[in-house]
Amino acid sequence: MAEQVAFWVIAVILVGSSLTVVLLRDLFRAGLLLILCFFVVAALYVTLLADFLAVVQVLIYAGAIGVLLMFAVMLTRDLQHGNPFNRLNKGVLLLSLLLLAMIVGVVIGTDWPTYTEVPDIVEMPLQDPETGEAVQGSTSYIAKALFDPDNGWVLAFEIASVLLLAALVGAIVLLRRRENDRQ
Amino acid sequence: MSLGIEHYLILSGILFCIGMYGALAKRNAVAILMSIEIMLNAVNIDLVAFSRFLVPDAVVLTGHVFAIFVITVAAAEAAVGLAIIITVYGSRRSVDVEQMDVMRG
């Protein structure tokens, strides 16, 4: 019961805040609402038993990306123009509503299967098979899934670190003040 | 009616459509990036919901791992994207994507 109340409260706040992000003319307030949106998504992860991801969401999205977006908003203040829509506005709205109708139709029309077990993939049981207590925390299971020698994602993990390094160097190169710009 | 995977999929579908509307209909490049972040979040909700509901009494961790990679790539994308936007703003004093047409053929 508590889970359902939490879900509906989260869903209302999430849809409302993300709609406001898109519709608001003041970009600064839109950015703040986007950070609220990130926090609420973290709460949604908690209802899905993804505690580690909820923490990551708060740290990376609400913390790092949120602050980065706010800095970008402040560094590119375009007060005369605000945050207008382009001339595709009506067509894109129609397209989005069509896509939404299609998604809702497919989701409701599909009989989502469930399985008793999935072979070769790390699972976190909701209850400890020996003691019968509820399992607390998904972090160690995520580590097992990520670094499993046979079915893990070690190579993808290393590539992700290279990608982050490349993004870091790229951002620095783009924003570095050129020597001949000084005068 | 108890919560099923449909609730989460429809919620994330709504979020995805809101993000797509913003990403295609906005003129400010920073607003477009914000809308793309909303879309990425919607996809992450989908992944986590599937990993929760695929097996009723367990959590299949593949979706979590995938969501972590999506968050990593989103962080890199936001950093580089905002750096590009700030560079363009430095040279043209505008972040309006309709004016960024130097590469038009």
Continuous H helices in chain A: 2-23, 27-47, 51-56, 66-75, 89-109, 139-147, 154-175
pLDDT average, residue stretch B8-18: 95
Residue B29, by phi and psi: left (phi above 0), alpha (psi -120 to 50) or beta? alpha
**Residue A151 pLDDT grade (very low, low, confident, very high; cuts 50, 70, 90):** confident
Separation CA B28–CA A85 (nearest Å): 8
CA distances from A156 to A23, A55, A147, A160, B37 (A): 37, 21, 10, 6, 22
Closest-CA residue of chain A to B84: A174
Residue A183, pLDDT score: 47
A1-25 confidence digits (pLDDT tens): 888 999 999 999 999 999 999 998 8
Contact assessment for residue B22 and residue A22, using Cβ atoms and an 8 Å cutoff: yes
Separation CA A88–CA B86 (nearest Å): 25
CA distances from A127 to A116, A155, B75 (A): 14, 31, 34
B21-36 confidence digits (pLDDT tens): 999 998 889 999 999 9
Specify the higher pLDDT residue, A178 or A155. A155
Q: How far is B36 from chain A (nearest CA, A)?
A: 11
| Inter-chain CB proximity A84 and B28 less than 8 Å | yes
Separation CA A171–CA B8 (nearest Å): 35
Q: A73 CB near a chain B CB, below 8 Å?
A: yes
Closest-CA residue of chain A to B59: A124
| A182 interaction partners in chain B (CB closer than 8 Å) | none
Q: Report helix, strand or coil for A76.
A: coil
pLDDT surpasses 90 at B94: no
B59-86 confidence digits (pLDDT tens): 888 899 999 999 999 999 999 999 999 8
Q: How many CB pairs under 8 A join A and B?
A: 257
pLDDT surpasses 80 at A52: yes
